[in-house]
Amino acid sequence: MFTQSDLQPALTLAHCQALDVQDPLRPLRDAFDMPSGVIYLDGNSLGALPKTTAARVAEVVTQEWGQGLIRSWNSANWFTLPQRLGDKIARLIGADAGEVVATDSTSINLYKVLSSALSIAAQDAPLRKQVLSERSNFPTDLYMAQALCQERGFELRLIDADALAGALNDQVAVLMLTHVNYRTGAMHDMAAVTAAAHAAGVLTVWDLAHSAGAVPVALKADDADFAIGCGYKYLNGGPGAPAFVWVHPRHSERFWQPLAGWWGHATPFEFTPDYRPAPGITRYLCGTQPMLSLAALECGLDVFASAQAMGGMAALRAKSLALTDLFIALVEQRCSGHGLGLATPREHTQRGSQVCLTRSEGAYAMVQALIARGVIGDFRAGDGHEQPDILRFGFTPLYLGFEEVWNAVEQLRQVLDTQEWKLPAFTQKQAVT
């Protein structure tokens, strides 16, 4: 629980404004179209709109599609866009060029890589029949794994994060984890967990939905086996943007992926009746890719290219930690005595780019009251037992400033002090929380 801390000097608005003045990443904020009057703390769920996206998508529609018509598959290089965007994503996640494709959704890509991992396990270690994951993993990951396990004769075993080390035994074929937990913002040590898994003979599948573009990721250096991630969260690709998939080169050509469509064929335009997989990551494509959506995703990725000149992911990480540290400290100083708890680890090495507050009652209404005041976060329901309800706030270092963090906490303080959240309008549940 948050209690007033006497040890730290009180933070001030002027201090937060000074942090903005010193922020080397501050110019990146101008790369985004933000509605006025909004403090956006939900970029971990749907990233903001880059200023270039609308014109670029319009150009693809009117010029490349409208005028170029089918010629644009060649003349506008549409056909290789999944690989070219994959190369841009690779730089953010510690992979090499040619190892990533932007395609399909996170759920579908998880199906592909988990299936490949199970095929490898079935061949190399046929007695291992378990897929291990965390009970608090994102539900779609668990649902896809359940379905695949049923189909392939495996068992999905769910544990809590603290039981991980003891659970890696000779029954386990694949460890499937989300790097940064969507509910709590807790982050796994990818290098250590992967090393422990490999020492136990277990393959790793990492979901980077809340990591890519938010925290430095080093897939190759950490020796991961498979990874997938999301295009519409920190990568700012737009609602339903194509996701991505990475497979370590030692595995990428061992098996077909199960959704073996013609875009993953070695020579799709020979139209042969039998499937021959393309070399490398290209075989993880399935069918015709959505060019309008990929064009929008590229605009999001190109903001990271600008960030590269300002220190890249290391600078973004430093700012993200400063933003989340500031938020925690301000909530602690200004919102104590209101029954809020902290679900996110304080330890930097264990924290992603979000802060989750807990409250036994009223969390949903508090989030709604904040949204009415222009502070957009979101709510994640607890399970009614061990997991409390959560007020979730994402901090996107590309476009968020320190003064905004001050103002967001000030709005939260007012919502709590006035008990405004108890108004009936704020308790009405909407379809998307």
Q: Is 138 in the site for ligand PLP (CB under 6 A)?
A: yes
Nearer to ligand PLP, 224 or 315 (CB): 224
Q: Is 302 a catalytic residue?
A: no
209: contact with ligand PLP by CB under 6 A: yes
Nearest CA to 231 among 376, 140, 398, 109? 109
Q: In whole angstroms, what is the distance from residue 85 CA to residue 242 CA? A: 10
Residue 155 pairs with which residues in a beta bridge?
A: 130
| Pick from 241, 185, 234, 239: nearest CA to 396 | 234
Residues 359-418 that bind ligand PLP (CB under 6 A): none
DSSP state for residue 426 in the 8-state scheme: G
Complex with ligand PLP: residue 138 or 399, whichever CB lies closer: 138
Please tell me which residue in 392, 393, 395, 426 is annotated as part of the active site: 392
Among residues 141 and 403, whose Cβ is nearest to ligand PLP? 141
Question: How close are the terminal C-alpha atoms of the chain, in Å?
Answer: 24
Question: Beta strand pairing status for 203-207 and 226-229?
Answer: parallel
Helix 13-22 to helix 402-417 angle (10° resolution) is 150
Among 53, 83, 103, 106, binds ligand PLP (CB under 6 A): 106
> What single letter denotes the amino acid at residue 166?
G
Q: 26 and 20 in contact (C-beta within 8 Å)?
A: yes
CA-to-CA distance for 72 and 352, rounded, in angstroms?
40
**Of 205-213, 271-279, 342-350, 417-425, which part binds ligand PLP (CB under 6 A)?**
205-213
* Segment lying near ligand PLP (by CB under 6 A), choices 65-73, 105-113, 151-159, 273-281: 105-113
In terms of Cα–Cα distance, which of 330, 337, 327 is closest to 2? 337
What tokens appear for 19 in the block?
Answer: 């942090």
- Strand arrangement of the beta sheet that strand 155-159 belongs to: 100-103, 243-247, 226-229, 203-207, 172-178, 130-134, 155-159
Nearer of residues 64 and 207 to ligand PLP, judged by Cβ: 207
Residue choice 230, 323, 331, 416 for contact with ligand PLP (CB under 6 A) = 230
Residue 210 is a binding residue for ligand PLP (CB under 6 A): yes
In whole angstroms, how close is the CB of 352 to ligand PLP at the nearest point?
Answer: 11
| 78 forms part of the interface with ligand PLP (CB under 6 A) | no
Closest to 355 in 3D by CA, of 334, 365, 340: 340
Q: Mask 171-190, x = binds ligand PLP (CB under 6 A)?
A: -------x---x--------
Is 297 a binder of ligand PLP (CB under 6 A)?
A: no
Binding segment for ligand PLP (CB under 6 A), chosen from 81-89, 99-107, 114-122, 342-350, is 99-107
138 is catalytic: yes
User: Which lies closer to ligand PLP via its Cβ, residue 105 or residue 146?
Assistant: 105
- Of 106 and 368, nearer to ligand PLP (C-beta) is 106
Q: Which of 183, 233, 319, 351 is catalytic?
A: 233
Nearer to ligand PLP, 312 or 345 (CB): 345
Catalytic one of 207, 225, 378, 389: 207
152 is catalytic: no
Out of 232, 244, 255, 364, pick the active-site residue: 232
244 has catalytic annotation: no
Q: Pick from 338, 424, 324, 325: which is nearest to 377 by CA?
A: 324
**Pairing mode, strands 100-103 and 243-247:** antiparallel
Is 207 a known active-site residue? yes
- Which of 87, 99, 134, 207 binds ligand PLP (CB under 6 A)? It is 207
Nearest alpha carbon to residue 420 among 357, 358, 370? 370
Give whole-number Cα distances, 245 to 65, 107, 216, 427, in Å.
Answer: 27, 11, 17, 39
Site residues (vs ligand PLP, CB under 6 A): 105-107, 138, 140-141, 178, 182, 207, 209-210, 230, 243
